Structure 1
Amino acid sequence: DHKVRIDYFPVRGDRKEAWDTIDFEGWLGERMTMKINWLGIDSILAAPLIIDLSRFMEHALREGKVGIMEHLSLFFKAPIGTDEYALDKQYQTLLDYVKHFE
């Protein structure tokens, strides 16, 4: 089990901050914790994703595909057309789709 909480903090604007805590079992079974304070700029992080998404959509258009595209669920926080939210499974769906590219 894990908890995720995302709050909007207006003062930060496009800059995002994440505090991550990872509890794990280390050497000799000793419980340990790793804490990470991450700072990022949302638009800079999103730009390459938008470029990739645009390229996949352009390919679909050339192939005559329209409508909901489950294989692109990886790019969205709340994807339509799938109940799968596990990133690794969404990524595999995309890889399976890409296998059929010419």
Structure 2
Amino acid sequence: MDQYQVNVAVRLLALEEVLVHVAKVLFVAIGATEQGMADLRERASQKLQESHLPGFEPALSDHLSAELQVAVDEMLSRIETGAAILRMQLHDAHPKD
């Protein structure tokens, strides 16, 4: 991997980390439930299963769509987990009597 590829990979990872952090805070702030977030992840997965990436031959499009589905599912799972942890931290910091 050359330096340019390393820089691109690092920047993509940084974007993913920022997106996961912002999304978990947003979901907690709007009061999204764990079930609501799980439903969102399921709907996203189904939508990605039904879609194909244009501009690629069909077999490659199917393969890339499957890879994209896995990556999106992993990211949404991280957001769900992060939101659950943040909810617990907020609850522990501000318990309701």
TM-score over 0.5 (shorter chain) = no
- TM-score, normalised relative to structure 2: 0.31
**Rg (Cα) greater in structure:** 1
Structure richer in helix, relative to its length = 2
- TM-score, normalised relative to structure 1: 0.30
